[in-house]
Structure 1
């Protein structure tokens, strides 16, 4: 599989742009873009990827690839059935399928399983659940469950590279919430839409959705307000704004939440720290991100999906600080143990590993880096 740098060079030439022209349009130095294209420097920020994609007039997926060759084939095989369930279901009157109480319980189960990185199992369970819940759309409890299952679905398929499908899933949750007419659930559905937008690189649109939802979210819905506030802070960091006010507000809100995982949002003080790390990384503040990582323990994050992100972002921070490759590899290995699919398909991990393989000098480091690269499908055979 081509690295991001090789793909960028190919797309740049396809567009007929010189290195200098592309760098200027993307707001990068010619030297930095050259290093990216030649695997000498990793792309370390989402905003950089977005700027390059905009310059080349392609999507983020065109640059990052879908990673099909390194993900779980069992999980990937569930995507067509999920797509069919989403496109074939609607909120019109249909003969009820299954007991609603059982379907609601299944909704909670698959959400918890996704947080535990059990992607294939969740993928297999989702299609019949999506279809059956839609047949109970006359009942408020089913509509609430649809908001939840749409969020789970959106996050799952986003992690499997089906970014457009993630937006479709999030919109199905929005439709259910609008039918329900409850500001709490409408705001919760909006959060899922912000995540789908961000995956597509539409960060400003995600910010607008979050801001609009914050206008209507009830005061007592502290966890949902907190998640939306975190979103606005992170979006500010991506588009070059100051995220501190939003992140500080979210931190204050998290201190007053009894059950931060009520909607599988994990809105807790430790998770706010994780969002601060992401914002710091986006701003290029690697020392701050590393300090934040050291302020919490992975066990504070409670669920494997967030622990995986913790190790990935900690590795990114140390990489940005030019710490020893051994330290970076150790963190990536811990992330891979907890969430192999999530780790191996992460754009920034793949960039780090590709660059590390290219420059590794010590035999032990080279061996570990090449092992990671092989599992990520980054090494050519033959």
Structure 2
């Protein structure tokens, strides 16, 4: 009986550089190509979508990302894997919805309905009527902010006290809860920001319904796409990335026909057509943003980020900050200073060639950022220190 193939960490790093469009001569021509290469772009922090895409675009720029998000609508923002915001290719949205987002949305609806009932006595019937009124007002306006919709639908102006008696007690408008659930269910979508591209203020618009797909088939499809982009990966990696149960993850991997391979972390999986070694790519460096999909792509990270290097790059909740990469490894972190300039620190000695390549990436990033200011929503120890 033949031995199972073994993939070294070096071979995994080579695949990462090529497939995540990080090589100097292997970047994407369009934002849709980038989104497909990574399955989706993390979007909890609005700036991450732009920074992650532009790190992989041959001609980086805000306008290219906005074209896909707001003009051509070829990208869709969804609350999905791990109850996290992602921007995914529009044609992949039904798969993501059926495999993960649909269940997330159901939990969001149940949670918010219970919160509204407990905090203000708002019944499911009241919630349904308010939602329908908000959607009707949105259809009339075409696009609207939450405040504009509240002007049309007085019920949205109702307020509730969240976490009463706690140190973090707060008063919130019902509107944020109502619109959040409608967005999670894909009935409304976020439009262009009111301010610059880093702004959290935006308009809503109605969203067309997504095609309904069987959940098991959608899970298998998403698992195949993940393995094509992030493989080899363990079952534990995919379970963490999706938020699925262990049973569902195992079934999805089996449905892809994936081939088992030996990794330093244990058993990994590759698609059957993807078992040949990848040639060693040209040297490459990258500055990736906080919550970048590459950095957040696996649960087991030792093969691309040494534990000692990781410590100052993560916050206490497990969110990774801006990172500096060299040939498939995290070697440091970066930040934008108060004056707009960029600074970085290498946490391991990668040599003169690496430093020169990183300097080139700093210049590239500064070139398209221009006068824009970017502060991660989740701040990490090194990012805070470098930012000043």
Task: Calculate the TM-score normalised by the size of structure 2.
Answer: 0.27
Higher relative contact order (CA 8 A, sep 6+): 2
In terms of fraction of residues, the more helix-rich structure is 1
Task: Calculate the TM-score normalised by the size of structure 1.
Answer: 0.27
Q: Which has the larger radius of gyration?
A: 2
